[in-house]
A and B are shown apart, each in its own frame.
Chain A
Amino acid sequence: MNRQPLIAHIPALRRYARALTGDAWACDDLVQDTLERACAKWRLWLAGSDLRAWLFTIMHNLYVSQIRHRMRQGDLASPLDLAELDQEPAAPVSSTDSAIDLQRCLLRLPEEQRVVLLLVTLEDLSYAEVAKITGVPLGTVMSRLSRARSRLQELMDASASKPARGTAAAESAVPPLRRLK
């Protein structure tokens, strides 16, 4: 048992935290807190079990409690509506701008949808693993994933065709498919 495996997980934890918070400082604070919590709870980690899943679970719990704390304090901006996109600056064009744009749309997703989408997309975790990390049933993971993908698509489409003002969201969104749940 050496420190290599743990350090090897830091870049992935940082990327996930970065996309989750959209902020470089907040991201590294979250990773730092995660590592410190891991240090304090080390005895609870079962040797041989999935270290990555354990670290992501710690990070998830910290993130959720941060969100709750901020909500109590009332300084958490409520997710914007599609219509409000019109009030924002014109659609960006360069690749850096489209990254910023994607991050902005990502931050407009409800937090529980963003978590599931990012864990599945960035970490290639199975739906069952995501259910375990987030502590919700598998069916809830699936419905959150579904909403997250559809919603993010709507937001991106609306954002890309912003000059069209208002009509974009309804017209360009991919028509919804039949859902099982």
Chain B
Amino acid sequence: MDKRPDHPVHEEELHALLDGRLDAGERADIERRLAQDPQASATLQAWQRQRDALRSLHGDVLTEPVPASLLAAAGQVQHTRQQLQQWWRWGGVAAGVALAFGLGWFTHGQVQVSAGSQLARQQPAREFVHQAALAHAVYAPEVRHPVEVSSAQEEHLVQWLSKRLGRPLKLPRLSEQGYELVGGRLLPGDEGARAQFMYQNARGERVTLYLGSTPGGVGVPGVSTEFRYSAEGPVPGFYWVDEGFAYALSGALTRPQLLQLAQAVHHQL
């Protein structure tokens, strides 16, 4: 920094002063020279006002609650991180890949192959059903905010969730079964974003349809499964895979009632 007494203030020095990039000595030096330079002083003041205005411009965004969809996305990052750490614990990515393809494939016999791949296939499926039931238990009783986007904005809801899940979604209608759409929300899942659609009948009973990429990465497009009933979670539900996409319909209903709704949904997708 030039210390000559009448050395004019350069613009770069003003930026550095304004942005707090100088130490005490440099600051004192510039401030002394600024006192003899009204033009530079005026510029500095104007930029200071501009800086203050910019910093207060969307200040409220810093304190307002973070939207649930963003928290969900952050949760997803966290999940990926954990998975990655787990993989490292197991001895690297190769172990994870080997497990997904069935442990016995490269070693011995048929028995091990099916045991390995079944483990890989069923565990994530159970996880998916469980998460669907949990999501139902959390949001279905919600009175004021059961959904992020309500059925009033149906078109936006479908577009938004389609974008987030990376495939065009169709919104099944359950009016014939007495259930109307309440809306939907985005949720974090093991393999990426998941969606939850909520329906409600005239008595206020709610069912949720939970959907996302096939768990465990074993599903490929074209893979489909039959309906499976699960009563392990907080609410019972039916789970199935269609074209590599997994669905779970959950609700505090009887098994035949749930099956009827699940079939109605499946029929429309």
* Interaction A to B: yes
For residue A39, which residue of chain B has the nearest CB? B77
* Complex contact A145–B15 (CB within 8 A): yes
B54 at interface, CB cutoff 8 A: yes
Please, how many angstroms separate the alpha-carbon atoms of A48 and B20 in the complex?
25
How many residues from A make CB contacts under 8 Å with B?
48
Q: How far is the CA of A126 from the CA of B84 in the complex (A)?
A: 32
Query: Which of A11, A35, A142 is within 8 Å of B15, CB to CB?
Result: A142
8 Å CB contact of A177 from B11, B70, B74: B11
**Chain B nearest Cβ from A98, distance in angstroms:** 8
| Bound-complex Cα distance A7 to B85 (A) | 19
A88 to chain B, nearest CB (A): 19
Q: How far is the CB of A14 from chain B (nearest CB, A)?
A: 5
User: Would you call A102 an interface residue if the criterion is a C-beta within 8 Å of the partner chain's C-beta atoms?
Assistant: yes
**Contact: B11 with A124, CB < 8 Å?**
no
Contacts of B78 in A (CB 8 A): 2-3, 6
What's the Cα separation between A32 and B193 when bound, in Å?
11
Indicate whether A14 sits within 8 Å of B66 (C-beta atoms), given known contacts A7-B74, A35-B74, A153-B50: yes
Whether A15 contacts B59 by the Cβ 8 Å rule is: yes
Can you list the 8 inter-chain pairs with the closest CB atoms, starting with the nearest?
Answer: A35-B73, A3-B78, A15-B61, A39-B77, A18-B58, A177-B11, A11-B62, A121-B54
Q: List 10 A-B contacts (CB under 8 A).
A: A3-B78, A14-B70, A28-B70, A36-B73, A103-B57, A146-B11, A153-B50, A174-B43, A175-B39, A179-B10
Which residues of chain B in 38-71 are interfacial with respect to chain A, using CB atoms and an 8 Å cutoff?
A: 39-40, 42-43, 46-47, 50-51, 53-55, 57-59, 61-63, 66-67, 69-71
| Across-interface contacts of B50 in A (CB, < 8 A) | 149, 152-153, 156
B76 at the interface (CB under 8 A from A): yes
Given contacts A6-B78, A106-B57, A174-B42, 6 further A-B contacts (CB under 8 A): A6-B77, A18-B58, A120-B19, A121-B54, A142-B12, A153-B47
Instruction: Report the minimal beta-carbon distance from B25 to chain A, rounded to whole angstroms.
Output: 19
Contact B81 A19 (CB under 8 A): no
B14 part of interface (Cβ distance < 8 Å):
yes
- B21 adjacent to A177 (CB under 8 Å): no
The smallest C-beta distance from B193 to any residue of chain A, in angstroms, reads: 8
Interface string of A140-165 (1 = CB under 8 A from B): 00100110010011001000000000
User: With A6-B78, A120-B19 in contact, is A174–B46 under 8 Å at CB?
Assistant: yes
Q: Is A118 an interface residue, CB under 8 A from the partner? A: yes
Interface of B with A (CB < 8 Å)? 8-12, 14-15, 19-21, 39-40, 42-43, 46-47, 50-51, 53-55, 57-59, 61-63, 66-67, 69-71, 73-78, 80-81, 84-85, 164, 193
Residue of B with least CB distance to A175: B39
Assess whether A121 is in contact with B55, with CB atoms less than 8 Å apart.
yes
- Asked whether, in the complex, the Cβ of B14 is within 8 Å of the Cβ of A19, the reply is no
CA distance A101 to B42 in the complex (A): 22
Tell yes or no: A168 within 8 A of B by CB: no
- Give chain B residues whose Cβ lies under 8 Å from the Cβ of A7: 66, 71, 74
A39–B193 Cα distance when bound, in Å, is 11
Question: Which of chain B's residues has its CB closest to A12's CB?
Answer: B62
Q: Is A46 an interface residue (CB 8 A)?
A: no
Contact B11 A180 (CB under 8 A): yes
Chain A nearest CB from B53 CB (Å) reads 6
